[in-house]
Each structure stands twice: as structure tokens, then as C-alpha cells.
Structure 1
Amino acid sequence: MSDTEKEILKIYDGSMPVEEDLFETSYVNHVAWTIAVLMFGLVLWLAIALVNAENQRHALMQKQCADPVFKGEIDMVCMQTVNSRENWWEHLWFAMTHLKRGAS
């Protein structure tokens, strides 16, 4: 091998990957992303529960699910299928903007 070839190999030797660091893994980002995804899932689940509760509350307030046979009672099948407002986001908006309720 000539001196020129040695010089060229020496120049390009720094661009080789370090094999000790080649398979190094870090779990810091995995933990952070896992927590972020779990928190997003929790917020989504709570929003769905809030929409469902507000839908049923509004149906009760509007007396949409009164039992036709037993006066003063609630039809539970109706409560599970009722849509008291046109869109789900209306329930979410109302529930998020009307946080305080007086004891009436």
C-alpha cells in the first residue's frame, strides 16, 4: 500500500461509525411518548363520558325520555339511545362552558 493510499484511508477513517455506539438505545423518548399517548387517551375517554352524561342530563331536563306507561318514571332504553342535541360537540361545549350550577 502506498503512502497516498494510507493518507486517503486515514482521512476517511473518521467518517466510519463507532460500532460501540451503533446499537445504543434510549428509552427516555419512549417513556415520554407513552405518557403523552396515555394522557391523550384519558382526555378522550373523559370527553366521551362527559358528552354522554350531558346528553342524558339534557334529555332529562327536556323530558324527552318520559315512560309512557308509568307516569313520572324514566324510559331507560330511551336514555341510552336519545340524542337531545343535534351534534356531540354541542354537549361538550355546553358542559365545558356551564361549570357552576346552583342548588335548585
Structure 2
Amino acid sequence: MTAERLAAAAGCSRFALYRAFRAEFGLAPSDYQRQLRLRHARRLLRSGAAPADAAAATGFADQARFSRWFQRVRHHTRHLSTRVTGRPTATGHGRRQSAQPLDPV
């Protein structure tokens, strides 16, 4: 649903909707939507989905955009996230390798 349609359904302008949403949830509508998509993608990754498949299934334009947002929000790359969870990760050559646990901090 577009912001215009949602605003029309709420009987206000798009900008009033934006301000009300941000006041209520503390995030812009687009940030909230992205957060939901990233949570869903993270669940897919944990269940063994490939990053490209998780990106496509959650509405990201491509794996590169998904990886950038995942890194911004999670403050690390999917590779590091995989190492943290102890699940295998794909290398750049299409092979799978066992993840090495991180040294305790």
C-alpha cells in the first residue's frame, strides 16, 4: 500500500500521516517497514536460506542492497552474523565451508 492510499484512508495528508506515525512508533514508516523486512530475512537466514533468496523473498531489490541494510542495522555483515550463530556460510565461490566460532571476548 502506498503512503498516499494510506493517508487517504486515514483522511489526512501524506505528511500528517508521516508525522503521526513517527510520533507513535518513533520511526519513519519506511524505516519501520525495512525493520520488519530485515527481521523476516534474518529468520529466513537462520532457517538456512541463501542471502539472495532471503533478499528476494523480503522485497529487497538485490542481495547487495539487502547486505548493506543488514550491515547497517545489525552493525556487522551476514558473514559475521553467520559466524556468531555457528551456522555455515557461503563463500564467494559458491562453496560451503564450516563456520569458525569467534574467540570469546
TM-score, normalization: structure 2? Answer: 0.29
Which protein is bigger by CA-based radius of gyration?
1
TM-score, normalization: structure 1? Answer: 0.29
Q: Which has the higher contact order (CA 8 A, sep 6+)?
A: 1
